[in-house]
Each structure stands twice: as structure tokens, then as C-alpha cells.
């Protein structure tokens, strides 16, 4: 992934730790391997080394727990795993902690700050606030940037507690296996004319740049152009020109980052070359977004003119076609914290970017601002929850002037560790810019990576093989029967998919035919997360179904809803050995139904049917 300081890593000054030892100590060597990988921001490799140290009798060592927690909190999709390690680390913190000393059993005071971050990401907001306050208490003379950041996160948690109770209705659409592999897929960008797409995909030993082009209204297969631009796997796509003939990338080195440019000539991409010295300084230039007219470049840099850490700057082309000195647009956009991943929309006026400042609800949030006729920028507006979360939300590529966009999401039901999604803030069915022809049918997906919310059932009863309206063969005049099935949800989601809506449409037909029927809608979750958070999630799942029924003309008085959190699982959340039972949890993320008033023999409420292998063992 892109090695940018995307979070405020404090107190981590990596020393020269790797001296030869007179006596060989394999566990000590593992510790220093972990230190090396941590310094390189290779967190997955670092954690493997630290876990070996941990399992060699160091389970109570605060220093090792701190290091493991630091790794997990930097791995998207696994950040909540940092919590138990950081909870152990804070039991033995010291202001005299010695960085990189293998024998030191203590952890730094910063452990409280990172524990606060981990709680915040996991929506344990009151615990996060307590941890942040503990950090402030123990480090009253800490670095001003750390203190300011911590106070900002406390305010963010307070805002989050209010906003998560009023989520926007959004639709997330996975782009499918053609673009999302088993690995991490990220940083998708499009040309403004819709003719080209580029994105990153992690390979075994490097991060690859892929390009897709639209020819005769059909998208080609993705092409790995890493070798064409002569990247060593250290260049990351930022943006494309209006017609997709130029790409801008960031080349990352150990201590610097530069903006590169490549052109599409005679069916090939040219070797990327760095932009001029106005753009590339001795500082860290992490991102560049080209305006539709090709005359403005929006970059991020931590150069001297920055108001905080990383700031957004704007460069204009001069009469000779060269990029001029970038200008900081000022405090309306940039804060004392970091700003990142700016994208200017097709209208050339609306700017989307990520920021740790403004009125964030935690970490980086996505904001947009519009340039006025007088050249000033409007006050940034955050995207709603749950597009913005309490985690770091970065690299939102807007389309249709920001009415929708593309973003990498780390969801358990995805194809890889991270998948590219099309996101729209609407209940209406939206088609991605890739077109309907790119959708992947469920049968094309291998079984262990199926991403639909409907769990696969091994044993199928005869009644399940009928359509939603089934006929009774014994009757002289066929009697219509309605089979009401449970509705299943993706992990940590209460969005209704097309398949879910088909099921709820059956219920709409039932309620319209049986005018006196009153239905209870019961939401459930799996066992991942706290009971309080899952209670809220289960209520949202039930309410999402209820709201859809109301939108279809069903009177609200005929519908009751309740959330049951994780209290009524129908399948095992864990295997007998204590490991995660992913398939079992799929059955628990559901909404079921119960007739409260005026039941009808013609209506069958089908409970969740769970394979024997996944049932809870009593």
C-alpha cells in the first residue's frame, strides 16, 4: 500500500537497531526483524515476527503487546484486533520507555493514544474518550501536535455518537471479480470522459498499476502496465487526464515521494517521468489530481508552506505549458492536521478531499468544497455517515460531480482484503460507470468467496424449491401460498441488496392482500462487536426493512420492529476450537418476521435453515 503518514504516528523514531550480536538469540532476532519491517511500514510482515516473540513466553510483555497493537491498527480490515494487545500494553506504561530495546518490558505512554484510536475505529466511543483523556493526563508536556490531535479525536468521538444514530441511505456496489482479485485492490480513478479506468492491485511481491479502456462501448480486460511505466512496484496511481491519455502517479521511496507522469502513445504507456521542481520538492508530494481542462494540478505536500502536516496545494500551467509554483488555498481547506487525496470534479469547481481536521468523526473523513466566482472556497462539508466512518476514510473518487463515487472498502464479504466499490447516496438503483455488462453473476464466483448476503444452504427442503408464490396440488382451485424468507445482510451493513428487496417485495404483496395483518420485523447480528453496537445495528436492519415496506404503501401502524443484537444466533459464530466460523456468522446477520395479528394459513414464515455442520452445538 501507499506509504504515506496517513495517521499521526507519535513517538516512533526508529533507531539503528540491527547490530550483530556476539551470541545468537533467535527470539531477539525475530524482535529486530519486526522492528525493521515496522520501520518500513510493512505491518503484515512485522506482525509475524512480533507474534513469534509474543508466543515465546512474552504474552504479558507490555512492549511486545504495544508493537503488535501498532501493527494491527495499521492493517485495514484488521484494526480491531489491536484492542486486546493495546489493553495489555497500557497496564505497564512508562515515560522512560526505551524505543527499540528488546529487554524493556514497558510500553510508551503513547499506548493510551493508540488504544483510543483502536476503540474509536471499533465504535467503542466512550472507551476511546477515556483512553484519550488518560493519554493527556500522563503526557501533559507531550508534543503539541500529539495533544492537539488527541483533543480533536475526543471531539470527533462526541460528534460520531450523534451522527451514527442518523445514517444516510447509501448503496455500495462491488465492481466484481473482473477488477477485484483475492488481494488488495485500491485507488480506482476514471478519466472525465469515461473512456479509461486505472487502479492498483497488490501482487505477491509488488503493487501493480492496472488500466482498463472502453472500446466500442465495452470495457476491455484489465492490463497490468507496471512494466510499461517502468515502475518497481513503488508507483501508485493518482489520476487520469480528461481523455485518459495521461496518468499521474506517486513514486514512493524510503524518505521521499514524487509526482510522476506517463502518456499513452501508440497503444503503450511511456516510462513515467517526474514533474518539474515546482511540483516535486525535497518534501513529500503524495498525490496529484488533474483538472478536467488540464490546466490545474491539485497536489498534497508537507512543504514549508503547509499549515499543518500534509496540505493541499494548487499549481497552474503557465503560457509555456509548465507547472507553476503551487499555492496553498488557505485555512478554509487546510487545517493544522493532515489533508490528503484531493479530487476535482468534472465541473472544475467541486473539490473532494480527506482531512483529519474540520468536523471529522474520527481519523480522516471525506469533505467537499466549491470554489466561488471570486476565487474563494466554500466551507468544507463532510460526506454523511456511513460513507465517513470513525476509521480513516481516504481516496474517494467522485463521479457525476460528486453525486456518487468509487472507494476501496474492507468488507468481509469482498473478494480480497480490499475491494473497489461504487457508492451512491440514494435508495435508487444506480449503475456504475463500468456499465451493467460488467456485473458478475453469482455462479462465476468461487464458493469460498461468494459475496452475496444469502448464505449457502447445503440441505434444501422441498418447500424451498418453489417460487415465492407456490401452488398446493391437492386443491381443486390452486391456493396461493406466500413463502416469507429471512433477509440476510453483509457484514456490518444494514443496506438492502437487490436480492433482499425481492424478498421484501413478497412481504409487500402479502400485506396488501391481507389488510388486517400486523407484522413484527426482528433484526439480528453475528457476534463480532460489542452488544451495544450490535443492538443498534440489529435495529437498523429491522428498520431498513420497515422503511422499505412503508415506501411501498404499507401503513406504518401495521409494522413493528425490534433489534435483538446477537442474542438469538441460529448458527455457530465460532468453531469448536474457538476459531471464527465465518459461514455460521452469515446466517446470524439477518432479519426474520413474525405475524402478530391476523395470521393466514396461506402465508408461511420460513425460519433460517442452517446446515447441520453449522448449527450450534448444545
Residues 423 and 276 in one domain: yes
Question: Is 510 contained in some domain?
Answer: yes
Residues 438 and 351 in one domain: yes
Q: How many domains does the chain have?
A: 3
Question: Is 269 contained in some domain?
Answer: yes
Provide the CATH number for the domain around residue 60: 1.25.40.10
Residue 14: per-residue pLDDT: 42
User: What is the per-residue pLDDT across 260-313, written as a single tens digit (0 to 9) for each?
Assistant: 999 999 999 999 999 999 999 999 999 999 999 999 999 999 999 999 899 999
Question: Is 426 contained in some domain?
Answer: yes
Residue 501: per-residue pLDDT: 87
Residues 503 and 571 in one domain: yes
Question: Is 19 contained in some domain?
Answer: no
Residue 432: per-residue pLDDT: 33
Neighbours of 374 (CB within 10 A): 5
Nearest Cα neighbor of 557 from 519, 510, 521 is: 519
Residues 442 and 466 in one domain: no
Residues 374 and 397 in one domain: yes
Residues 259 and 367 in one domain: yes
Taking the C-alpha atoms of residue 147 and residue 48, their distance in angstroms, rounded to an integer, is: 32
User: What is the per-residue pLDDT across 310-351, written as a single tens digit (0 to 9) for each?
Assistant: 999 999 999 999 999 999 999 999 999 999 999 999 999 999
Provide the CATH number for the domain around residue 573: 3.30.1330.60
Q: Which of 185-199, 406-420, 498-512 has the highest mean predicted lDDT (pLDDT)? A: 185-199
Question: Is 8 contained in some domain?
Answer: no
Question: Is 590 contained in some domain?
Answer: yes
Has residue 108 got a pLDDT over 80?
yes
Lowest-confidence range among 96-105, 117-126, 387-396? 96-105
3-state secondary structure of 447: helix
Containing structural domain, residue 113: 26-163
Question: Is 176 contained in some domain?
Answer: no
Residues 444 and 469 in one domain: no
Question: Is 560 contained in some domain?
Answer: yes
Residues 404 and 533 in one domain: no
Let me know how long the chain is.
Answer: 618
Residues 198 and 115 in one domain: no
User: What is the per-residue pLDDT across 440-497, written as a single tens digit (0 to 9) for each?
Assistant: 332 232 222 223 344 433 332 333 332 233 222 333 343 457 889 999 998 878 888 7
Provide the CATH number for the domain around residue 266: 2.120.10.30
The predicted model scores a pTM of 0.67
User: What is the per-residue pLDDT across 113-172, written as a single tens digit (0 to 9) for each?
Assistant: 999 999 999 999 999 999 999 999 998 777 888 899 999 999 999 999 999 888 888 889
Q: What is the mean pLDDT of residues 383-408?
A: 94
- State the chain's mean pLDDT as an integer: 85
Write down which residue in 116, 131, 163 finishes a domain. 163
Q: pLDDT class for 217, splitting at 50, 70, 90?
A: confident
Residues 245 and 387 in one domain: yes
Are 472 and 479 spatial neighbours (Cβ–Cβ below 8 Å)? yes
User: What is the per-residue pLDDT across 34-83, written as a single tens digit (0 to 9) for each?
Assistant: 998 888 888 999 999 999 999 999 999 999 999 999 999 999 889 999 99
Write down which residue in 385, 414, 448 finishes a domain. 448
Residues 207 and 126 in one domain: no
Write down which residue in 424, 448, 472 finishes a domain. 448
List residues bridging with 224 in a β-sheet: 210
Cα-based distances in Å from 218 to 157, 212, 437: 45, 10, 8
Taking the C-alpha atoms of residue 98 and residue 224, their distance in angstroms, rounded to an integer, is: 45
Residues 205 and 304 in one domain: yes
Amino acid at each position: 500500500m501507499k506509504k504515506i503518514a496517513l495517521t499521526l504516528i507519535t513517538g516512533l523514531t526508529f533507531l539503528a537497531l540491527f547490530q550483530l550480536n556476539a551470541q545468537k538469540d533467535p527470539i531477539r532476532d525475530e524482535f529486530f526483524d519486526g522492528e525493521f519491517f515496522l520501520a518500513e511500514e510493512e505491518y503484515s510482515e512485522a506482525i509475524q515476527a512480533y507474534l513469534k516473540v509474543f508466543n515465546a513466553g512474552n504474552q504479558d510483555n507490555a512492549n511486545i503487546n504495544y508493537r503488535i497493537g501498532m501493527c494491527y491498527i495499521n492493517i485495514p480490515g484488521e484494526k480491531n484486533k489491536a484492542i486486546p494487545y493495546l489493553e495489555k500494553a497500557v497496564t505497564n506504561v512508562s515515560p522512560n520507555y526505551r524505543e527499540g530495546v528488546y529487554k524493556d518490558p514497558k510500553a510508551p505512554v503513547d499506548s493510551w493514544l493508540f488504544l483510543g484510536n483502536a476503540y474509536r475505529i471499533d465504535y467503542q466511543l466512550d472507551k476511546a474518550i477515556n483512553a484519550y483523556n488518560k493519554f493527556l493526563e500522563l503526557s501533559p508536556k507531550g508534543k503539541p501536535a500529539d495533544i492537539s490531535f488527541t483533543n480533536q479525536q475526543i471531539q470527533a468521538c462526541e460528534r460520531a455518537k450523534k451522527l451514527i444514530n442518523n445514517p444516510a441511505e447509501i448503496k455500495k456496489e462491488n465492481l466484481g471479480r473482473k477488477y477485484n482479485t483475492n488481494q488488495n485492490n485500491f485507488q480506482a480513478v476514471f478519466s472525465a470522459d469515461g473512456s479509461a479506468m486505472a487502479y492498483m492491485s497488490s501482487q505477491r511481491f509488488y503493487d501493480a498499476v492496472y488500466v482498463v479502456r472502453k472500446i466500442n462501448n465495452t470495457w476491455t480486460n484489465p492490463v497490468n502496465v507496471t512494466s510499461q511505466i517502468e515502475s518497481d512496484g513503488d508507483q501508485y496511481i493518482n489520476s487520469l487526464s480528461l481523455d485518459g491519455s495521461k496518468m499521474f502517479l506517486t513514486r514512493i521511496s524510503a524518505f521521499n515521494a514524487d509526482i510522476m507522469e506517463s502518456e499513452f502513445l501508440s497503444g503503450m504507456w511511456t516510462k513515467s517521468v517526474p514533474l518539474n521542481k515546482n511540483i516535486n520538492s525535497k518534501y513529500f508530494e503524495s498525490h496529484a489530481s488533474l483538472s478536467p481542462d488540464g490546466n490545474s494540478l491539485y497536489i498534497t505536500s508537507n512543504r514549508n508552506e503547509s499549515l499543518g502536516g500534509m496540505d493541499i496545494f494548487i499549481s497552474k500551467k503557465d503560457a509555456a505549458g509548465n507547472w507553476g509554483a503551487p499555492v496553498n488555498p488557505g485555512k478554509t481547506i487546510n487545517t493544522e492536521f493532515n489533508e490528503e487525496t484531493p479530487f476535482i470534479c468534472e465541473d472544475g469547481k467541486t473539490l473532494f478531499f480527506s482531512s483529519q481536521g474540520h468536523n471529522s468523526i474520527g481519523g480522516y473523513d471525506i469533505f467537499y468544497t466549491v470554489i466561488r466566482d471570486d476565487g474563494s472556497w466554500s466551507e468544507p462539508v463532510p460526506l454523511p455517515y456511513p460513507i465517513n466512518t470513525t476509521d480513516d476514510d481516504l481516496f474517494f473518487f467522485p463521479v457525476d460531480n460528486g453525486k456518487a463515487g468509487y472507494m476501496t472498502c474492507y468488507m468481509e464479504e469482498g473478494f480480497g482484503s480490499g475491494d473497489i466499490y461504487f457508492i451512491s447516496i440514494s435508495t435508487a438503483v444506480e449503475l456504475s460507470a463500468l456499465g451493467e455488462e460488467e456485473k458478475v453473476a453469482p455462479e462465476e464466483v468461487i464458493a469460498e468467496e461468494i459475496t452475496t448476503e444469502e448464505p449457502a444452504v447445503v440441505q434444501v427442503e422441498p418447500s424451498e424449491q418453489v417460487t415465492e408464490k407456490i401452488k398446493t396440488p391437492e386443491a381443486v382451485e390452486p391456493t396461493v401460498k406466500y413463502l416469507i424468507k429471512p433477509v440476510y445482510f453483509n457484514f456490518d451493513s444494514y443496506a438492502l441488496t437487490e436480492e433482499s428487496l425481492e424478498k421484501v417485495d413478497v412481504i409487500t404483496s402479502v400485506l396488501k392482500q391481507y389488510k388486517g395483518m400486523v407484522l413484527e420485523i426482528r433484526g439480528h447480528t453475528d457476534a463480532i462487536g460489542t452488544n451495544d453496537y450490535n443492538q443498534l445495528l440489529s435495529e437498523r436492519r429491522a428498520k431498513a426493512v420497515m422503511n422499505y415496506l412503508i415506501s411501498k404503501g404499507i401503513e406504518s401502524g401495521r409494522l413493528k420492529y425490534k433489534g435483538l443484537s446477537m442474542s438469538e444466533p441460529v448458527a455457530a459464530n465460532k468453531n469448536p476450537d474457538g476459531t471464527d466460523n465465518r459461514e455460521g456468522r452469515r446466517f446470524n446477520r439477518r432479519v426474520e418476521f413474525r405475524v402478530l395479528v391476523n395470521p393466514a394459513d396461506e402465508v408461511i414464515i420460513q425460519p433460517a435453515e442452517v446446515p447441520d455442520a453449522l448449527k450450534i452445538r448444545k
